[in-house]
Copies of this chain bind each other. A is one copy, B any other.
Amino acid sequence: MNSFTEENYIKSIYHLSKDGNQAVNTNSIAEQTSTKASSVTDMIKKLAEKGLINYVKYQGVTLTPKGYSLAVGIIRKHRLWEVFLVEKLQFKWDEVHDIAEQLEHIKSDTLVDRLADFLGNPKADPHGDLIPDKEGKFQSKDLIRISKMEAGDTGIISGVNEHSPKFLQYLEKSGLVLGKKIAVIEVIEFDGSVILLMENKEITISREAAKNILILA
C-alpha cells in the first residue's frame, strides 16, 4: 500500500517527465512537491526500493512500468472525480482541482470503474485533459496552442495548459470555454497578442493567454 505522499511524488514525477518520457531531476521534484531536495532524495530512494522508479545517483529518475501505471491510475481518478464534481454536483471548472487532489487517493478499483460508468466513461475532464481508460490508455487528441496559430486558422477550444482558478475564471468570464469555435483574425506582431472571432464577436487575448488555450483544428 502506498501513502498519499508516495502517490503525490509519483504523480509529480509523471507530470514533470512530460507524461512519462524524459528523466526528472531532484530539484524539480522538490519544487513540484513543495519540499526540499534532501527530502526528495530520501523519498526517491524509497520509491526505487519499491520498484516504482529507476534511480541512479545524480542521474535523476524515470518511472518503471509499475510506477507509470500507478501514476496513470491516480490521474484517471483525479480527472473522473473532477467530471463528477462538475457534471453531477454543479461545481465550476475552477473549483474542482483541490477537492480532486484529495479524492484521487481513495483506494478501490471497483469504485473507479463504477464511477467511470456512472459518468458515461468520459474521455476528457472539465479542463479538456484526457482521461485514461481502465488499461491506462489515453485516446490522444492533437491540440495546438492558440499562440501557434496564424491569421485565418480556425478550431474549437478543447483544453487548457494552465489550471489556476484565476485563469479559468478569466476564460469563463470571457466566454472562452471548452467547445467554443474560434477563428484567428490577427496576431499582433508587437506583443504577440491575438485577436479572435468567436460567435461574431472580436476578443483580444494576450500572448500569455494564447499559449495556454488549446485548440482542436
Contact = CB atoms under 8 A, between A and B. Distances in A.
A89 B111 contact: yes
Contacts of A102: 106-108
A99 B110 CA distance: 10
Interface string A88-104: 11110001001100110
A149 interface: no
Interface string A115-128: 10010000000000
Tell me if A's interface is mostly helix, strand, loop or mixed.
helix
A114 interface: yes
18 contacts: A85-B111, A88-B118, A89-B111, A89-B114, A89-B115, A89-B118, A90-B114, A91-B110, A91-B114, A95-B110, A98-B108, A99-B106, A99-B108, A99-B111, A102-B106, A102-B107, A102-B108, A103-B106
A39 B89 CA distance: 40
| Copies of this chain assembled into the complex | 2
Interface in A62-113: 85, 88-91, 95, 98-99, 102-103, 106-108, 110-111
Q: Which of A85, A95, A111 has the most CB of B within 10 A?
A: A111
Interface of A: 85, 88-91, 95, 98-99, 102-103, 106-108, 110-111, 114-115, 118
Q: Which of A89, A91, A115 has the most CB of B within 10 A?
A: A89
Contacts of A107: 102
Contacts of A88: 118
Contacts of A103: 106
Contacts of A108: 98-99, 102
A89 B88 CA distance: 13
A81 to B, nearest CB: 10
A94 to B, nearest CB: 13
Nearest to A102: B106
